[in-house]
């Protein structure tokens, strides 16, 4: 090719490139400035909103979740604004994003159910971290509340992951909601036992236990008369943190006192000791 013609093409392309660059540079500069200002603004809004939620003593799990929603929501808006500044049609991109969101939503229906359940748990707070609960056939202490699952720590140090969808739609027993808790223990004695003496011994045991509350008043009563013996119900109130110790102490002290008084426990065919 003729060097003169080649130089002419290069000069023509250079001129066209410079012209396009000059025409496009305001949009590029505006988009870059918008990007940096937007990133700074998102951080500022996120920090301010987090401080406000902490000041209002909102649940830490909810603070983290809402902060993430604000952060990523503003980032998506910023991205759309930046590509619009560059002259890229954003309406088609939004339509594609919406269609992709619908497809993902349909494929993750179970996860969305758990997500909605997590939101309900965080907002309505049927339990909080550290509470002892029973739900979905398992029981334990709540050690973490996430968006999709809640973690429970059982008495034998096992971690159970319960899906929030099922958890929010089922019955939940929260043993820590109230400061005190009532025991409901059942022991059995034979018909030839002096009933008054047996009840007096149990009342003495209750009076000596400092972990048992005297209000509401403790109760020792006949629960049931069976073919094999008499069922006696022991109902006392104690603080949540002392519940397990009180149940154990009552049974152990009753056994010791009955042995000394030569009162024998009456076995039953079915288990008769339970706790509420």
For the chain, the structural domain boundaries read 3-107, 125-174, 180-260
Query: What distance lies between CA 81 and its chain's CA centroid?
Result: 36
DSSP 171: -
DSSP letters for 10-67: HHHHHHHHHHHHHHHHHHHHHHHHHHHHHHHHHHHHHHHHHHHHHHTT--HHHHHHHH
Residue 206: the pLDDT is 92
- Tokens of residue 163, six digits: 């899906």
Q: Are 275 and 183 in contact (CB under 8 A)?
A: yes
Reduced to 3 states (helix: H, G, I; strand: E, B; else coil), residue 125 is coil
CA distance 241 to 176: 9
User: From 3.40.50.1820, 3.40.1190.20, 3.40.50.1970, 3.30.70.100, which CATH number describes the 180-260 domain?
Assistant: 3.30.70.100
**Tens digit of each residue's pLDDT, the chain (276 residues):** 555 555 566 666 666 666 666 666 777 777 788 888 888 988 888 888 888 888 877 767 677 777 877 887 888 888 888 877 777 666 666 666 666 666 655 554 556 777 788 878 877 888 888 888 988 888 899 988 887 889 999 888 899 999 888 888 888 989 888 888 888 898 888 888 888 898 999 999 999 999 999 888 999 988 888 888 888 899 999 998 888 889 999 999 999 998 898 888 877 655 433 444
Paired sense of beta strands 172-174 and 230-235, if any: unpaired
* 3-107 placed in CATH 1.10.287.1260: yes
Q: Are 223 and 231 in contact (CB under 8 A)?
A: yes
CA distance 276 to 134: 11
Reduced to 3 states (helix: H, G, I; strand: E, B; else coil), residue 201 is helix
Q: What is the CATH number of domain 125-174?
A: 2.30.30.60
CA-nearest of 165, 157, 53 to 119 is: 165
Question: What's the CA dihedral at 12, 13, 15, 18 to 10 degrees?
Answer: 180
């Amino acid at each position: 090719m003729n060097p003169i013609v080649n130089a002419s093409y290069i000069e023509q392309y250079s001129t066209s490139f410079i012209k396009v660059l000059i025409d496009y540079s305001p949009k590029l500069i505006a988009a870059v400035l918008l990007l940096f200002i937007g990133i700074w603004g998102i951080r500022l809004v996120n920090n301010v909103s987090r401080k406000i939620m902490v000041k209002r003593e909102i649940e830490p799990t909810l603070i983290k979740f809402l902060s993430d929603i604000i952060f990523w929501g503003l980032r998506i808006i910023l991205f759309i604004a930046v590509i619009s500044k560059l002259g890229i049609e954003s309406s088609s991109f939004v339509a594609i994003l919406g269609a992709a969101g619908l497809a993902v939503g349909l494929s993750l229906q179970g996860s969305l159910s758990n997500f909605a359940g997590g939101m309900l748990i965080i907002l309505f707070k049927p339990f909080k971290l550290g509470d002892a609960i029973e739900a979905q056939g398992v029981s334990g202490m709540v050690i973490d509340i996430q968006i999709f699952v809640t973690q429970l720590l059982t008495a034998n140090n096992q971690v159970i992951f319960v899906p929030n969808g099922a958890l929010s739609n089922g019955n939940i027993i929260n043993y820590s909601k109230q400061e005190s808790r009532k025991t409901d223990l059942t022991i059995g004695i034979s018909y030839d036992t002096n009933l008054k003496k047996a009840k007096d011994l149990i009342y003495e045991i209750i009076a000596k236990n400092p972990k048992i509350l005297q209000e509401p008043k403790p109760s020792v009563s006949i629960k049931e008369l069976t073919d094999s013996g008499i069922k006696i119900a022991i109902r006392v109130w104690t603080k949540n943190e002392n519940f397990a110790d009180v149940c154990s102490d009552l049974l152990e002290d009753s056994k010791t006192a009955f042995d000394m008084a030569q009162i024998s426990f009456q076995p039953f065919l079915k288990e008769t000791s339970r706790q509420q």
